[in-house]
Chains A and B, each alone.
Chain A
Amino acid sequence: MLLADSFTGCWLISKVCYSLKSMGSVLAASSPSPAPAAAGGSQGVSGLVSVPPGFSMPSVSSVPPTSGSGADADSTLPNPGTYEECHRKCKEVFPLQMDGVRLVVNKGLSNHFQVCHTVTLSTLGESGYRFGSTYVGSKQIGPAESFPVMVGDMDNTGSLNAQIIHQLTSTVRSKIAMQTQQHKFVNWQCDMECRGEDFTSAVTLGNPDVLVGSGILVGHYLQSITPALALGGELVYHNRPGEEGAVTSLLGRYTGDNYVATLTLGGAGAHATYYHKANDQLQIGVEFEASTRMQETSTSLGYQLDVPKANLLFKGTVDSNWMVGATLEKKLLPLPLTLALGALLNHRKNKFQCGFGVTIG
């Protein structure tokens, strides 16, 4: 349904953008950038949204420190992070689907400016060229955060993705995002996030259309109950001429020493993830999704093996849909080159796809 897709699109954009918030200086982000994020840059999810390429998602620890960070450990609860990041740690363990050939060239022009060229030759989808650029301003909030952040990328067909994130006050951050599919505007949204001492709340206004009288309003709230437990909720209200409705869901997240368990329950279904860090090299994630709209459930197991001595990163996944996939990334030192190989096999449909990519810079 169009409406469902459009607010799914919102999700995806906001998921992307909340990760932008902790991007440090552009050059620092680009040098040992984890290639999966850059490679996954142009993998549009459901064709609506894509993480701007060349934009690396730095290892943001959305897991708050479990032991008290200050002298008054009993009374200070840490800020729980944002609503979108709760499931992220588990999702990062899973490999990306690779298809065809991809060449990514990242170039840092200065401390503030970075550009990225991506050429994709695809067997299933469209081949094309994408140009992305990132600008980070000079208002330094913390050691790894500078604002404003402006990210844009343009396709060879003319599709544009643009985001601007800015820190308005010490607790309020705002973001505006736009997305077009060739010449048509598909997504335009604005949101405001307020981070308190032990809570985070955000309001997003998506696709407001004054002429038609439609729009989507999303409210998030996440509160730290104990240093390990965070509870929160989300309310989505959509309005169109002729129909209006609201969907609510609740979120709970529990953080242990080396694991994070998150559960989201709502009218649209349930989503549970479990992330476990076995040791420095091995991380495991288990994900369970149930959707009331499509009336189906799926469970996935993913693991990530990191061998820094061999400059190797291996991710594998097994799915309840009889899908097996893996991605291998290797840094070819001394060149600033990363080679990524990936394959996905769907046993049920007997379909196979493989791809490889090279990231330079």
Chain B
Amino acid sequence: MGSVLALSSGPGHQNWPFSTDRPPSRWDAHPAHWDSPPRWERRDGRLPNPGSFHSLHRSCKDVFPQQIEGVKMILNKTLSSFFKISHALHLSAVSPSYYRFHVEHLQSDDYSKDKDAPALIGEMDSSGSLNAHALLHLTERVRARTVFQTQQSQFVTWQFETEYRGNDFTAAVTVANPDVLRESVILVAHFLQSVSSGLVLGGELVYHRGRAEEGGILTLAGQYSRPNWVATLNAGKGGAHASYYHRANKQIQVGVEFEASTRTQETTTSFGYQMELPEANMVFRGMINSRCIIGGVLEKRLTPLPATLIMGAFVNHRGDKLQVGLGINVG
């Protein structure tokens, strides 16, 4: 029986609010899931669907600890198998403190770890900022996503995405911030094709148009997966992004990431690892950066209470700055 409770029992990751960027969407899990056969693999030997473009680097990114600061308390409450809410209170030393209310409504009851489920997600801040996502399954192969983000009273993002999942390819078109009055729009087109059982190739075309300028950027992407590791590369005029994910054993996962940007003219290399100790109900994520940033986050489930304690610290040796965070997730 799939239920929303399955969602909330994962380690604190999904509960961190999506103030950074898009939420940990259920669409974005890696198609080759290590503990169970890939979702779209077919017995007749045909190639699997490669998943969505956003999830190419996700397995490596999940290994890295999330930046944590101040004290955060999150209370999750499941009202029914469709409906889940959470209250988050954040006391911070560097940014203003806030209270955030988050609500998720699933459109269907048949959620399980392997299936995507359409949902409506909304989040409201104590300062009035709103974050709304709608994920819909229009047909079996066509999905639509709408995102609205406001910063207090001003709209920051409004985008509409349509994705078509074929047998062995995925194509998506996104319209971001279309503004008729200012005559500006950003159009993004993604295409991913499974070339062989481990290799996925694809590309992304970004076209942006404003009143004074317009331009397009093409990025090519490739991903090669084996049972224990995944290597991904995005390369284009805007820069390059390469990531390598390796699962050493059931407990240790390692990720290396390299990013280069032509716009800011700098490169960053990061190394991260994740250690899971299920007997001690503990997950530890650590990372070290070429920007001299070292961070670690420890999550511990406090059985028998339905609570998770999160402690983390990030040190920037170059600027000699330290950020310390404590969090508790209840429910």
> A residues 119-173 with Cβ under 8 Å of B?
121-123, 127
Task: State which of A345, A350, A351, A356 has its C-beta within 8 Å of the C-beta of B324.
Answer: A356
Taking the complex as formed, is B21 at the interface, i.e. its CB lies under 8 A from any CB of chain A? no
> A residues 308-361 with Cβ under 8 Å of B?
341, 343, 345, 350-356
| B324 pairs with A354, CB closer than 8 A | yes
Taking the complex as formed, is A100 at the interface, i.e. its CB lies under 8 A from any CB of chain B? yes
Could you tell me the distance between the alpha carbons of A353 and B97 in the complex, rounded to whole angstroms?
Answer: 12
Taking the complex as formed, is A229 at the interface, i.e. its CB lies under 8 A from any CB of chain B? no
Enumerate chain A residues within 8 angstroms of B93, measured Cβ to Cβ.
123, 351-354
Interface size class of A (residues with CB under 8 A): 10 to 19
Partner-binding segment picked from B9-17, B24-32, B221-229, B315-323: B315-323
Taking the complex as formed, is B150 at the interface, i.e. its CB lies under 8 A from any CB of chain A? no
Enumerate chain B residues within 8 angstroms of A343, measured Cβ to Cβ.
71, 91, 326
Enumerate chain A residues within 8 angstroms of B91, measured Cβ to Cβ.
343, 345, 352, 354
Enumerate chain B residues within 8 angstroms of A354, measured Cβ to Cβ.
70-71, 91, 93, 324-326
Taking the complex as formed, is A282 at the interface, i.e. its CB lies under 8 A from any CB of chain B? no
Enumerate chain B residues within 8 angstroms of A100, measured Cβ to Cβ.
322, 324
Which single residue of chain A is at the shortest CB-CB distance from B320?
A127
| CB proximity of B89 to chain A, nearest CB, Å | 12
> B residues 85-104 with Cβ under 8 Å of A?
91-93, 96-97
Taking the complex as formed, is A101 at the interface, i.e. its CB lies under 8 A from any CB of chain B? yes
Which single residue of chain A is at the shortest CB-CB distance from B313?
A101
Enumerate chain B residues within 8 angstroms of A355, measured Cβ to Cβ.
324
Could you tell me the distance between the alpha carbons of A350 and B320 in the complex, rounded to whole angstroms?
Answer: 24
| CB proximity of B77 to chain A, nearest CB, Å | 24
| A121 pairs with B71, CB closer than 8 A | no
Could you tell me the distance between the alpha carbons of A356 and B326 in the complex, rounded to whole angstroms?
Answer: 8
Could you tell me the distance between the alpha carbons of A341 and B325 in the complex, rounded to whole angstroms?
Answer: 10
Taking the complex as formed, is B254 at the interface, i.e. its CB lies under 8 A from any CB of chain A? no
Task: State which of A122, A341, A350, A352 has its C-beta within 8 Å of the C-beta of B70.
Answer: A352
Taking the complex as formed, is B311 at the interface, i.e. its CB lies under 8 A from any CB of chain A? yes
Could you tell me the distance between the alpha carbons of A352 and B92 in the complex, rounded to whole angstroms?
Answer: 6
B302-331 interface code vs A (CB 8 A; 1 in, 0 out): 000000000101010000111111100000
Task: State which of B70, B96, B97, B313 has its C-beta within 8 Å of the C-beta of A121.
Answer: B313
| CB proximity of B322 to chain A, nearest CB, Å | 5
| CB proximity of A98 to chain B, nearest CB, Å | 9
Enumerate chain B residues within 8 angstroms of A351, measured Cβ to Cβ.
93
Which single residue of chain B is at the shortest CB-CB distance from A120?
B322
| CB proximity of B143 to chain A, nearest CB, Å | 41
The 4 closest A-B pairs by CB, nearest first: A123-B322, A352-B93, A352-B91, A121-B322
